[in-house]
């Protein structure tokens, strides 16, 4: 495969209502069937009127931008100072919901297209129907990446080709069947196009030639790139995940699990909080059946379904601040148990014991 990446200069300033197909076809009469057009989302947004008016500067501008950001946000993923990483209503996770203030008048902000896949399909159809060109279209924007410095362009919308090339089931040269390999080829094409577009060169469209020999309308679009929340191991930033966990801990149901608690899982939960509890707080997982049965017999309200017991001892002597800290430590343990799938019920300590609290599992 031999690829060429070609700039499309001369498109000029795009305003609401402009015909992007006509602008691109006029600026690139050399386009061929099978080319991939990488189109910066900003000119798509401008042509579609996705702009909002804001004050040029001062606190009023910041307040207006915050209101716009709230409207474009489906959920907040992480916050650090003035930086907001959010999930947009499209499902994209990006800084400030992709709202952009560059290459636009100071009194306006550019929002992402409402439906970038639909925008890509419309542009592809216009180039085919009015200009006789059978090309694929990728609508791109700049994103950061978790664990990596620097920015790169990715695909927000695509038409005329699949977003992902699926290699699963293929056999590599060593005879190994590929099990997981799915390449986000439209992101790679978007990044390739950005190499010649740049941010200050006013080249909002690039052409990648040589990747496709034919185009295909039967595709899911860039929606295929959005990972389902159930498969996302990093759906929140660290601080946000911790806050969410503490909120959940405050409302944990006071019930034991429906099945016997796995001793190893209980041990992991106790170990997980051992290093963060207040000095003097100790949690003991009772594993001896005879001892546990004897303790259970002395605890009022012991649930019939309970299969285990954890004793908690607060620092002694205990003052009011110690009680508050111990209560927080107890909730940390209950959260850690819940993370292991273990329900717990808070009970009074056994009569005559030195425990401050008892968790039935």
pLDDT at site 211:
93
**Spatial CA neighbour of 158 closest among 133, 183, 140:** 140
Burial code (b: 16+ CB inside 10 Å, e: under 16) for 143-161 equals: beeeeeeeebbbbbbbbbb
In a domain? residue 162: yes
Question: What pLDDT sits at residue 221?
Answer: 92
pTM of whole model > 0.75? no
pLDDT at position 15:
92
**Are 127 and 77 in a shared domain?**
yes
Task: Let me know whether 220 and 288 are in one domain.
Answer: no
Which of 200, 231, 262 is at the close of a domain?
231
Residues 202 and 306 in one domain: no
Residue 243 lies in a domain: no
- Size of the chain in residues: 361
What is the rounded CA–CA span in Å between residue 82 and residue 79?
7
Q: Per the domain annotation, does 48 fall within a domain?
A: yes
In this structure, the answer to whether residues 105 and 10 fall within a common structural domain is: yes
- CATH code of the domain covering residue 192: 3.30.1330.100
Residue after which a domain boundary falls, among 231, 265, 290: 231
Residue-by-residue pLDDT tens, the chain, 361 positions: 799 999 999 998 899 999 999 999 999 999 999 999 999 999 999 999 999 998 988 899 999 999 999 999 999 999 888 889 999 999 999 999 999 988 888 899 999 999 999 999 999 999 999 999 999 999 999 999 888 999 999 999 999 999 998 777 787 888 888 777 788 999 999 999 999 986 667 899 999 999 987 788 767 899 999 988 778 888 888 888 878 877 777 778 888 877 888 889 999 999 888 888 888 888 888 888 777 777 777 777 777 777 788 888 887 776 777 788 888 888 888 888 888 888 888 888 777 777 788 888 8
207 and 309 together in one domain = no
C-alpha angle 313/315/316, rounded to 5°?
Answer: 105
Q: Is residue 247 part of a domain?
A: no
SS3 letters across the chain = CCCEEEECCCCCCCCCCCCHHHHHHHHCCCCCCCCEEEEEHHHHHHHCCCEEECCCCHHHHHHHHHHHHHHHEEEEEEEECCEEEEEECCCCEEEHHHCECCCCCCCEEECCCCCHHHHHHHHHHHHHHHHCCCCEEEEEEEEEECCEEEEEEEEEEEECCCCCEECCCCECCCCCECCCCEECHHHHHHHHHHHHHCCCCCCCEEEEECCCCCCCCCCCHHHHHCCCHHHCCCCCCHHHHHHHHHHHHHCCCEECCCCCCCHHHHHHHHHHHHCCCCCCCEEEEECCHHHHHHHHHCCCCCCCCCCCEEEEECCCCCCHHHHHHHHHHHHHHHHHHHHCCCCEEEECCCCCCCCCEEEEC
Residue 276 lies in a domain: yes
| Cis peptide upstream of residue 27 (ω within 30 degrees of 0) | no
Direct distance between the N- and C-terminal alpha carbons of the chain, in angstroms, rounded to an integer: 61
Do 225 and 281 belong together in one domain?
no
Instruction: Report the C-alpha gap between 8 and 255 in whole angstroms.
Output: 65
Both 184 and 274 in a single domain?
Answer: no
- Which phi and psi (to 5°) does residue 107 adopt? -95, 15
Please report, for the domain that includes residue 354, its CATH number: 3.40.109.10
Does the residue 240 lie in any domain? no
Domain enclosing residue 139, as ranges? 4-231
Same domain, 187 and 268: no
Task: Report the greatest alpha carbon distance in the chain.
Answer: 90
Q: Is residue 108 one of the residues assigned to a domain?
A: yes
Same domain for 317 and 183: no
Write the CB contacts of 192 (distance below 8 Å, at least 6 apart in sequence): 3, 5, 38, 206, 208
Residues 335 and 226 in one domain: no
Indicate the residue among 172, 200, 231 that finishes a domain.
Answer: 231
- Residue 200: the pLDDT is 61
How many domains are contained in the chain? 2
Residues 122 and 200 in one domain: yes
241 assigned to some structural domain:
no
**Same structural domain, 101 and 193:** yes
């Amino acid at each position: 495969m031999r690829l060429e990446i070609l700039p499309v200069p001369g498109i000029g300033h795009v305003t609401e209502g402009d015909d992007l197909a006509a602008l691109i076809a006029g600026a690139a009469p050399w386009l061929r069937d099978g080319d991939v057009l990488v189109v910066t989302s900003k000119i798509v947004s401008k042509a579609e009127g996705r702009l909002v008016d804001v004050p040029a500067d001062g606190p009023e501008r910041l307040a207006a931008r915050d209101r716009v950001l709230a409207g474009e946000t489906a959920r907040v993923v992480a916050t650090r100072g003035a930086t907001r990483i959010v999930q947009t209503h499209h499902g994209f996770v990006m800084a400030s919901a992709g709202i952009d203030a560059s290459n636009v008048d100071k009194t306006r902000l550019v929002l992402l297209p409402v439906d970038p896949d639909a925008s890509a399909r419309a542009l592809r159809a216009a180039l085919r129907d009015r200009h006789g060109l059978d090309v694929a279209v990728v609508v791109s924007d700049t994103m950061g990446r978790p664990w990596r410095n620097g920015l790169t362009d990715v695909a927000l919308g695509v038409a005329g080709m699949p977003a992902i090339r699926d290699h699963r089931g293929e056999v590599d040269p060593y005879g190994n069947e590929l099990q997981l390999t799915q390449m986000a080829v439209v992101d790679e094409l978007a990044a390739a196009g950005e190499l010649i577009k740049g941010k200050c060169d006013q080249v909002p469209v690039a052409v990648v030639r040589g990747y496709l020999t034919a185009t295909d309308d039967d595709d899911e679009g860039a929606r295929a790139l959005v990972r389902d929340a159930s498969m996302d191991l990093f759906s929140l930033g660290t601080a946000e995940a911790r806050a969410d966990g503490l909120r959940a801990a405050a409302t944990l149901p006071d019930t034991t699990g429906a099945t016997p608690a796995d001793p190893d899982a209980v041990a992991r939960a106790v170990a997980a909080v051992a290093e963060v509890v207040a000095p003097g707080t100790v949690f003991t997982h009772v594993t001896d059946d005879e001892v546990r049965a004897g303790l259970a017999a002395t605890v009022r309200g012991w649930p019939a379904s309970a299969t285990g017991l954890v004793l908690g001892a607060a620092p002694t002597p205990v003052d009011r601040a110690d009680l508050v800290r111990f209560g927080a430590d107890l909730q940390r343990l209950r959260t850690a148990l819940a993370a292991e799938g273990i329900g717990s019920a808070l009970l009074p300590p056994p009569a005559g014991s030195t425990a401050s609290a008892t968790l039935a599992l």
